[in-house]
Amino acid sequence: MDLTKPWRDYTYVAFDTETSGKYPLVDEVVEIAAVKWRDGKIIDTFQTLLKPSRLMGEAVIRIHHITNEMVENAPLIHTMLPAFEKFIEDCVVIAHHTAFDMGFLSYDFEKAALALPLSIGLDSCALGRKAYPESPNHKLATLCTLLKFDQTQAHRALDDSKACLHVGLQCMEKLGATATLEQIIAIQGAPFEWTRYSINALRAHEVFKTVVDATVQQAVLEMVYTGGSAPGQPRRVTPRGLVRNPDGDFMVGLCHKENFEKRYYFNRIVSAKILD
């Protein structure tokens, strides 16, 4: 994609997912929605509920209010991904905490043996930090309040997508009304690209593959980690989930020695094996 045109000359798709929990590999997407913007107006929308393979717990239902009954007859995600990919084709995508949504969906694309989308991504949270450093935080709801945007139903994917679009556009307007997309990306820090969140790419690394497999299986790992309270010493960890982070992916796991959940950054994991 040519990034040198003024940012207003592009078509944008703001999208959001609702999930059964916090972690890709372990939890699942239960709703995808998106809104498409061009030439100053929303020109199309996309929304679907999705049926997970396991029942959702009450804690997450209280967040997004999507019940197990609502998704009982919903389509499976692999049947809807081609339509979503078509919807975002040739567009610049925007999400709030884009790494979270790309982290979930990249895994689903690869499980379905589909190519990852090629679209470049922006993050309305990252843009919000640059455009509105005075904001008490850069949660979507907080930025909507600051920008006087009525977020009708927070934590449902379509309304969050509309809110994300509004925030993202307002941020770009403030950061550079006449800027090119390339300049906006530079202000953000870097583009978000789907390949960055490929699980297959992690699996290509022998040690990381073991961590991924243990996370999927929720199996106990014995690993050597160069950070923390016992650097370089073997430790046993039960993975809770994987976090795709622009600053470095990490596994959240229960440390058996300290009986406490910790972050374990992939680039500090020297060796790992799954214990029977």
**Domain match, 119 and 238 both:** no
Tens-place pLDDT, residues 187-216:
999 999 999 999 999 999 999 999 999 999
Query: What pLDDT is attached to residue 228?
Result: 81
Tens-place pLDDT, residues 173-191:
999 999 999 999 999 999 9
From 144, 167, 197, the end of a domain falls on: 197
Query: How far out from the chain centre does Cα 137 lie?
Result: 19
- Over range 154-166, report the average pLDDT: 91
Q: In terms of residue numbers, what domain contains 238?
A: 204-274
Tens-place pLDDT, residues 23-67:
999 999 999 999 999 999 999 999 999 999 999 999 999 999 999
- Over range 247-255, report the average pLDDT: 95
* Tokens 């940012």, residue located: 7
Q: Which of 24, 78, 82, 32 is nearest to 202 (CA)?
A: 24
**Domain match, 125 and 162 both:** yes
Query: What pLDDT is attached to residue 153?
Result: 66
The alpha-helical segments, DSSP class H, found in 37-97 are 58-64, 68-71, 77-88
Q: Residue 263: give its domain's CATH number.
A: 2.30.30
**Domain match, 110 and 12 both:** yes
pTM, to two decimals = 0.94
**Domain match, 124 and 238 both:** no
CA 92, 25, 265, 252 dihedral sign is positive
- Residue 2 inside a domain? The answer is no
The answer to whether residue 257 scores a pLDDT higher than 70 is: yes
- Residue 149 inside a domain? The answer is yes
**Domain match, 146 and 245 both:** no
CA atoms within 13 A on the CB side of 31: 23
Q: Are 143 and 167 in contact (CB under 8 A)?
A: yes
Number of domains in the chain: 2
